Amino acid sequence: MARSLLIGAQQMGSAVCRLLNGQGLAASLSQLRHASSHAENTNKFLREALNRLDYPEKLQNLLLTPRREMSVELVVQMDDGQIEVFNAYRVQHNNARGPYKGGLRYHPQVDLDDVRSLASLMTWKTAVMDIPYGGAKGGVTVDPRKLSERELEKMTRKLVVAIKEIIGTYEDIPAPDMNTDAKVMAWFFDEYSKYKGFSPGVVTGKPVYLHGSLGREAATGRGTTFAIRELLKAMHMGKLGDQKYVIQGFGNVGAWAAQLLWEAGGKVVAVSDVAGAIANENGLDIGALRRHMSSGKTLASFPDGAPLRKEDILAFPCDVLIPAAIGGVIGPDMAAKLQCKVVVEAANGPTTPEGDLVLRDRGITVLPDIYTNGGGVTVSFFEWVQNLQNFKWEEEDVNRKLDRKMTDAFTALWTVHREMAVPLRTAAFVVALQRVTRAEVHRGFD
Ligand SMILES: NC(=O)C1=CN([C@@H]2O[C@H](COP(=O)(O)OP(=O)(O)OC[C@H]3O[C@@H](n4cnc5c(N)ncnc54)[C@H](O)[C@@H]3O)[C@@H](O)[C@H]2O)C=CC1
Ligand SMILES: O=C(O)CCC(=O)C(=O)O
């Protein structure tokens, strides 16, 4: 059995595979329309890769489903004395390759299905990046903009208390994701340490002065620029500085990617956040935009950018489109409108299976999330190693090691893309599935 798991690569010919290879686009889309949940969408992509591998059905099911899901209610007394209850989740998808690993998201749209999908993506991401972790994700259904800092801290500490028995330095290691940052990770580390003793390695993305790593804050954006550099090279499209970029989302990932692409000489012609969008055909001055925003002003009020409807950001003409905000933004209708050569998925799950089909049909290359944004968790791994060593690495060292990881991972997925003649997303899942399955099989099932 192990042999067929490891080297088998026969096509199994399921519905998804047939429709992606043979049928017309309209027929394919009508079959895919049933897939609406986030978790099911992720599994659709995964199944397409599984169809290339000769795995027994029971093993496939094991890879498709999470190992543990925890739902809790966080009861918090707000500043005005009222009691609020927040729903929170931690989903542990797979730990065959190492401790569960994945961020914590605070967002009003968080639900169990969303977290399940994001946890699965983490399993495949850590495998693509070849770092010794499994995959998990956590989230709280909350709009953090409506909470005071004190309320946010209380809620975070309640979360730690609720999930502390299933996380740990060698068990499950959370990190930042949307609307969570180094400050939230510091509260997390502090609260966990109260119960379990000093534990800097229980969470990554901490402040640099509090056992965090140099380079972690910029890592996902920096990794994204390394990923684009490798893709451009492989596609003979020139250099980072030769391209026009559009970026949706100007938070941690989007703003760092914009900064580094701009520093490399690229033209960032349009950017957006949750509240608005701006454009400048000659390229925005990203340094000035970041200074503008750090003085408390909105992105949309930046004087050197023309206002743009934020709904129009993704279809703005460019060479490289970088969704760096929420999931599910490129469905079939939006995919039909894009005016770019490549989509580089810095966000998790920005393209739906239906959107993906339209992009393939249009010849638009997609660099998938499980590779593109893997720089964040890679430097989280470096932070964890530094915590275990109790030793701080130089920032140059972190960035050099990150570059190496992104470059090696690209080589692995590009090789499968060429050899199996599959899209880059399927190639990334094939690479990840082979690594996770190898670990599952060699650990055994007793
Ligand atoms: N922070 C990290 O290290 C990593 C983040 N990611 C993914 O990258 C994406 C962005 O994460 P972060 O930058 O950390 O979050 P963030 O909270 O720092 O920034 C999110 C940005 O997206 C914008 N946004 C939110 N909803 C939007 C909407 N409906 N339309 C347009 N813009 C919207 C926000 O205004 C903000 O500019 C997420 O999908 C996250 O899962 C992936 C890997 C690691
Ligand atoms: O840094 C990490 O551990 C995980 C970041 C994350 O949540 C992600 O890559 O989606």
Smallest Cα–Cα separation from 127: which of 442, 371, 364, 314? 371
Q: Which atom of ligand 2 is closest in space to residue 133's alpha carbon?
A: 3
Determine whether the shortest distance from the Cβ of 204 to ligand 1 is under 6 A: no
Choice between 178 and 21, residue whose per-residue pLDDT is larger: 178
Query: Phi and psi for 247 in degrees, rounded to 5?
Result: -130, 125
What distances in angstroms separate CA 399 from CA 10, 40, 213, 429, one per listed residue? 39, 35, 11, 25
The encoded tokens of residue 321 equal 């489109």
- The structure tokens listed for 155 are 């809620």
pLDDT at 287 over 70: yes
Beta-bridge partner residues of 104: 138, 176
Least confident of 32-41, 137-146, 335-344: 32-41
> Within a 10 A sphere around the Cβ of 280, how many other Cβ atoms?
18
Which atom of ligand 1 is the closest one to the Cα of 216?
Answer: 3
For residue 295, say whether it is annotated as part of any ligand binding site.
no
Q: Evaluate: CB of 174 within 6 angstroms of ligand 2.
A: no
What domains, with CATH codes, occur in the chain? 2-64+438-443 (no CATH), 68-199 (3.40.50.10860), 217-372 (3.40.50.720)
Q: Are strands 320-323 and 244-248 parallel, antiparallel or unpaired?
A: parallel
Judge if the beta carbon of residue 348 lies within 6 A of ligand 2.
Answer: yes
* Residue the block writes with tokens 């730990």: 95
Q: pLDDT band at 1, cuts 50/70/90?
A: very low
Choose among 93, 106, 248, 125: nearest CA to 184.
Answer: 106
Exposure of 387 by Cβ count < 10 A (0-12 exposed, 13-18 middle, 19+ buried)? buried
User: Which ipTM was obtained for this model?
Assistant: 0.99
Give me the residues paired with residue 5 across strands.
Answer: none
Please tell me the distance from the alpha carbon of residue 357 to that of residue 361, in angstroms, as a whole number: 6
- CA–CA separation, 95 vs 134, rounded Å? 4
Nearest CA to ligand 1 atom 39: 347
pLDDT at 446: 87
Instruction: Using the predicted structure, report yes or no on whether residue 64 has a pLDDT greater than 90.
Output: yes
Is residue 32 scored above 60 in pLDDT? no
Is 310 labeled as ligand-binding?
no
CA separation, residue 102 to residues 93, 116, 175, 365 (Å): 10, 11, 6, 27
How many angstroms separate the CA atoms of 380 and 375, rounded?
8
Please, which pLDDT band fits residue 6 given cuts at 50, 70 and 90? Answer: very low
Atom of ligand 1 nearest to the CA of 250: 37
Report the 3 state secondary structure along 235-247. CCCCCHHHCEEEE
- Residues carrying an active site annotation: 137
Tens-digit pLDDT profile for residues 433-445: 999 999 999 999 8
Mean pLDDT of 335-353: 98
Give how far Cα 224 sits from Cα of 256, 340, 419, Å. Answer: 9, 17, 24
Measured CA to CA, the distance from residue 214 to residue 207 in angstroms comes to 9
The pair of structure tokens assigned to 173 is 């290691």
Phi and psi dihedrals of 335, rounded to 5? -60, -35
Which amino acid does the sequence have at 157?
Answer: R
Asked whether the predicted pLDDT for residue 286 surpasses 70, the reply is: yes
Residue 19: per-residue pLDDT: 29
Q: Which of 199, 189, 213, 198 is nearest to 392 (CA)?
A: 213
The answer on whether 380 is annotated among ligand-binding residues is yes
On whether the CB atoms of residues 143 and 86 are closer than 8 A, the answer is no
| Three-state SS letters, the chain | CHHHHHHCCCCCCCHHHHHHHCCCHHHHHHHHCCCCCHHHHHHHHHHHHHCCCCCCHHHHHHHHCCCEEEEEEEEEECCCCCEEEEEEEEEEEECCCCCEECCEEEECCCCHHHHHHHHHHHHHHHHHCCCCCCEEEEEEECCHHHCCHHHHHHHHHHHHHHHCCCCECCCEECCECCCCCHHHHHHHHHHHHHHHCCCHHHCCCCCHHHCCCCCHHHHHHHHHHHHHHHHHHHCCCCCHHHCEEEEECCCHHHHHHHHHHHHCCCEEEEEECCCCEEECCCCCCHHHHHHHHHCCCCHHHCCCCEEECHHHCCCCCCCEEEECCCCCCECHHHHHHCCCCEEECCCCCCECHHHHHHHHHHCCEEECHHHHCHHHHHHHHHHHHHHHHCCCCCHHHHHHHHHHHHHHHHHHHHHHHHHHCCCHHHHHHHHHHHHHHHHHHHHCCC
Average pLDDT for the chain: 93
Mean pLDDT calculated for residue range 62-86: 98
Q: Each residue of 290-312: pLDDT tens digit?
A: 999 999 999 999 999 999 999 99
Q: Residue type at 14? A: S
Question: Which of 125, 377, 383, 387 best tests ligand 2's pocket when mutated (most atoms within 8 Å of CB)?
Answer: 377
pLDDT at 66 over 80: yes
pLDDT above 50: residue 21? no
Q: Is 125 assigned a ligand-binding role in the annotation? A: yes
Q: Indicate if the pLDDT at residue 87 is higher than 90.
A: yes
Mean pLDDT to the nearest integer, 117-138: 98
